[in-house]
């Protein structure tokens, strides 16, 4: 059991027959009245996001989410195939099970497959990935204004904003949690 006073980002728990993961939380202590916890929760099965408030003493059963290493092999239409790193069994997942979590994942990359009570509901890519820039506008010499960016397409098809000095063919490191450019490799 976990009480609302112990909430942290990423914690999963069961509520009203569903499994939720905390996206954001805020402990609020108003001048009058009792304290409460304001949260933004993501339903891990459906992907829906709801906002809910709790009393700090409310208790919910913790949900155990299993994370297991799988290697992304290939896609065939709207099915994506993953291989278990231990048993070498292949598992197909549909596009709606994955959402947009594969936009920074290329073939042969190891990812964490997330499941709850044996039911797979998502894929967690590595925190940082190195990808090649396949399409972007050329940077102009002398255009060095601070923080200027331009759109770029990566080898996985994802689009992100990159600094002006990044060119086609450059390998860059991307933070998959935020989709932001980190550095050239």
Q: What is the pTM of this model?
A: 0.71
Q: pLDDT tens for residues 39-50?
A: 999 888 777 889
> If one looks up domain 2-60 in CATH, what number appears?
2.30.30.30
Phi, psi (deg, nearest 5) at residue 159: -115, 130
| CB atoms inside a 10 Å sphere around CB 170 | 15
pLDDT for position 123: 85
What per-residue confidence (pLDDT) applies to 109?
92
**Looking at the predicted structure, is the pLDDT value of residue 168 above 80?**
yes
Q: Where in the chain is the domain with CATH 2.30.30.30?
A: 2-60
Task: Kindly state the DSSP code that residue 63 receives in the 8-state scheme.
Answer: P
**Structure confidence at residue 118 (pLDDT):** 81
Of 55, 109, 53, 116, nearest to 81 by C-alpha is 109
- What pLDDT does residue 129 have? 92
In CATH terms, the fold of domain 128-184 is OB fold (Dihydrolipoamide Acetyltransferase, E2P) (2.40.50)
Six-digit token pair at 34? 């009792």
Under 8 Å between Cβ of 133 and 169: yes
pLDDT digits (tens, 9 = 90+) for 15-65: 988 889 888 899 999 888 889 999 999 888 777 889 999 998 999 999 888
Tokens 């190891």 sit on residue: 110
pLDDT score for 140: 65
Return the closest-CA partner of residue 108 out of 77, 138, 85: 85
Q: Is the predicted pLDDT of residue 149 greater than 90, yes or no?
A: no
Q: How far apart are CA 37 and CA 59, in angstroms?
A: 12
Does the structural domain 66-124 have CATH classification 1.10.3660.10?
A: no
Residue-wise pLDDT tens digits, 84-139: 988 999 999 888 777 777 888 999 999 998 888 888 877 888 989 999 999 998 87
Q: Are 68 and 115 in contact (CB under 8 A)?
A: yes
Residues of the chain with CATH 2.40.50.140: 66-124, 128-184
């Amino acid at each position: 059991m976990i009480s609302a006073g112990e909430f942290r980002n990423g914690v999963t728990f069961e509520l009203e027959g569903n499994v939720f993961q905390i996206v954001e939380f805020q402990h609020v202590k108003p001048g009058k009245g009792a304290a409460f916890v304001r949260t933004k929760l993501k339903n891990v099965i459906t992907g829906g996001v709801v906002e809910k408030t709790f009393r700090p003493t409310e208790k919910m059963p913790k949900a155990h989410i299993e994370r297991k290493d799988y290697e992304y092999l290939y896609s065939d239409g709207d099915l994506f195939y993953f291989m278990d790193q231990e048993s070498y069994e292949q598992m197909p997942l549909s596009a709606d099970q994955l959402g947009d979590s594969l936009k920074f994942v290329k073939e042969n990359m190891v990812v964490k497959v997330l499941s709850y009570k044996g039911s797979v509901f998502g894929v967690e890519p590595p925190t940082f990935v190195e990808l090649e820039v396949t399409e972007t506008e050329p940077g102009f010499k002398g255009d060095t204004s601070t923080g200027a960016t331009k759109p770029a397409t990566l080898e996985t098809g994802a689009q992100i904003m990159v600094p002006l000095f990044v060119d086609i063919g450059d390998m860059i490191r991307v933070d998959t949690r935020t989709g932001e450019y980190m550095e050239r490799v």
